[in-house]
Amino acid sequence: MQDKEKNILIGGAWPYANNSLHVGHIAGLISGDIIARFNRQIGNNVLYVSGTDCHGTPITVRAKKENKTPKEIAESYHEEFKKCFEDMQFSYDLYTKTEDEYHEEEVKKLFKKMYDNGYIYEKKDLQPYCEKCKKFVADREVKLICPSCGNETKGDMCDCGYEPKDEDLLNATCIECGNKVVAKENMNLYLALGKLQKDIEQYVENKKSNWRISSQNESEKYLKQGLPEKAVTRNLEWGIDIPLNGFEDKKMYVWIEAVLGYVTACKKICEERGLNWEDYWKNDKDNYIYMVHGKDNITFHTIILPALLLSIDENYRLPDGMVATQYLNINEEKISKSKGNGITIRYMLDNYNSDMIRYYLTSNGPERKDSNFSLEEFVAICNAEIVNKYGNLINRTLKFKGLDKVPDGKMNEEIKQKIQNAYNEVENAIKKLEFRKATSIIKDLVEDGNKFYEEKQPWKEQKENIEEFNNTIYTCCNLVANLSNLYEPFMPTSSRKVREFLNLPKATWDYIEVEKNMNLDGIEPLFERIK
């Protein structure tokens, strides 16, 4: 668990540029923004980076279909992603892309180091080659009859789950021209993952207590099978060049360059800001590293990335906290492209408040098991928990009839204690990656505030006992101020507005009191009931 470290690096998974972002993506990635905002609040130095994954065959295939260049496809999705993250108030320090000159140049240097260190080696393979198209064809550029189910399938994976083996691929036909492929010798580069088996086992053993259980299980399962050798080059025109002679017709596999984006993005933003990137990425720098991703991406972060960092052999710190999420289903069904049941985040943003979307995707997040998304439930929860409870507490306090400034009252000790407890408990929950629990603790505090308000009946106190009235409203003003701190990682837009109402300079993580007698004007409702 993160303790007293000062330099916090958070890597959010890089979405792949061949489809729009849906609510499931955000349900996974939002954890990164929660951790980033929380750590800034407690005074840590935070770098939160991510970017668009732009290379690889799915994009070239899509480009061909749409009669565009891969670059056009990648760039248009990159712009779309960027706008979505901005509108969702993701506080990335840098959101870049793998199709970025800085990334490409830095990755080439890292690749060269791995080669020089003996972790990348040359090997001749027999690979499917189309003599008519005059090229080596990738798995998904061939079709074959699946030996398992008898249906026609592409070479990467059959719908029945069968993964075609090398000998199947050598008997396939080229998708483009229909010619039967031939087996041809091809020189490729491989990563010697096996050499790192012991080191990675040690690493997983040392750090797994910081991980969610799914990350632990997946990683141990993967290690048990023995780390495979993995090709790092492929014949493709779209991607990053290989910085070695004799591989001019090849590019890097996406899996090796995209995960290194966490390193290159951190370096890039540090250069821009005059910071030392090693304070975040090297050992013994009072630092802590989080990786945030979905469950389909676990071993890329728990095994592959650490293996790459070890093979660069420059004292890199290996990631500490693994924040893997399960799947978000839509109306009890898995999100699937073929069913077309995914709800895009753009659709949500065009229709609903971003704080509400963040709140629902967090309080109902797929942390330990798959969770379900339905619009009906989204509306019901936002109305019940945000509009009727939190929004109402803010309104009935700050817009109390006849009140134009914060009263000169006394803070209720019991409520103060509850607020202080909430800071501790929410901090603990966030550090343990239990974000659902964190929102539920704050929700309880809101509930306590509303109960306090109703018991005190300030509308009566105002007429009968002005001193008591002042105490009640002053206490509620302080409660609202502290709730804006507690909710900042989860609902930053409304928190910022509360700070504006109450003249609070910035979000902090300590019990605060508002200035007595300050004017309360320009207060507007923060949440509208959803119909």
Which two tokens mark 489?
């990682």
DSSP 518: -
Q: Say if residues 321 and 36 touch (Cβ distance below 8 Å).
A: no
CA separation (Å) from 248 to 108, 132, 511? 13, 21, 60
Task: Give the separation between CA 496 and CA 239, rounded to whole angstroms.
Answer: 41
Task: Give the separation between CA 493 and CA 396, rounded to whole angstroms.
Answer: 20
**In the complex, least distance from residue 19 CB atom to Zn ion, rounded to whole angstroms:** 24
* Residue with Cβ nearer Zn ion (130 or 429): 130
* Residue with Cβ nearer Zn ion (178 or 525): 178
**In the complex, least distance from residue 181 CB atom to Zn ion, rounded to whole angstroms:** 8
**In the complex, least distance from residue 75 CB atom to Zn ion, rounded to whole angstroms:** 28
Q: Say if residues 305 and 262 touch (Cβ distance below 8 Å).
A: yes
* Residue with Cβ nearer Zn ion (163 or 500): 163
* Residue with Cβ nearer Zn ion (149 or 466): 149
**In the complex, least distance from residue 342 CB atom to Zn ion, rounded to whole angstroms:** 24
* Residue with Cβ nearer Zn ion (4 or 165): 165
Task: Give the separation between CA 377 and CA 104, rounded to whole angstroms.
Answer: 44
Which two tokens mark 72?
């056009």
Q: What kind and span of H or E run contains 49?
A: strand 45-52
**In the complex, least distance from residue 74 CB atom to Zn ion, rounded to whole angstroms:** 24
* Residue with Cβ nearer Zn ion (61 or 191): 61
Q: Are strands 7-12 and 287-294 parallel, antiparallel or unpaired?
A: parallel
Which two tokens mark 451?
């109960």
* Residue with Cβ nearer Zn ion (130 or 298): 130
Neighbours of 499 (CB within 10 A): 17
Three-state secondary-structure class, residue 237: coil
Three-state secondary-structure class, residue 233: strand
Instruction: Pick left, alpha or beta for residue 43 (phi over 0 → left; psi -120 to 50 → alpha; otherwise beta).
Output: left
**In the complex, least distance from residue 160 CB atom to Zn ion, rounded to whole angstroms:** 3
* Residue with Cβ nearer Zn ion (132 or 516): 132
Task: Give the separation between CA 99 and CA 464, rounded to whole angstroms.
Answer: 68
Q: What is the DSSP string of 124-178?
A: EEEEEEETTTTEE--GGGEEEE-TTT-SEEESS--TTS----HHHHTT-EETTT-
**In the complex, least distance from residue 60 CB atom to Zn ion, rounded to whole angstroms:** 15
* Residue with Cβ nearer Zn ion (87 or 176): 176
What's the order of all strands across the beta sheet hosting 7-12? 94-97, 45-52, 7-12, 287-294, 321-325
**In the complex, least distance from residue 174 CB atom to Zn ion, rounded to whole angstroms:** 3
**In the complex, least distance from residue 63 CB atom to Zn ion, rounded to whole angstroms:** 17
**In the complex, least distance from residue 132 CB atom to Zn ion, rounded to whole angstroms:** 5
**In the complex, least distance from residue 188 CB atom to Zn ion, rounded to whole angstroms:** 20
Instruction: Pick left, alpha or beta for residue 212 (phi over 0 → left; psi -120 to 50 → alpha; otherwise beta).
Output: beta
Q: Which residues bind Zn ion (CB under 5 A)?
A: 130, 132-133, 146, 148-149, 158, 160, 162, 174, 176-177, 179
Task: Give the separation between CA 457 and CA 463, rounded to whole angstroms.
Answer: 11
CA separation (Å) from 492 to 89, 91, 116, 495? 7, 10, 46, 5
The amino acid at residue 276 is N
* Residue with Cβ nearer Zn ion (130 or 403): 130
* Residue with Cβ nearer Zn ion (132 or 451): 132
**In the complex, least distance from residue 84 CB atom to Zn ion, rounded to whole angstroms:** 35
**In the complex, least distance from residue 154 CB atom to Zn ion, rounded to whole angstroms:** 11
* Residue with Cβ nearer Zn ion (157 or 411): 157
* Residue with Cβ nearer Zn ion (149 or 182): 149
The position carrying tokens 């141990």 is: 220
What's the order of all strands across the beta sheet hosting 135-136? 135-136, 120-130, 182-191, 230-231
Residue 1 CB contacts under 8 Å (≥ 6 apart), including other chains: 209, 210, 431, 432
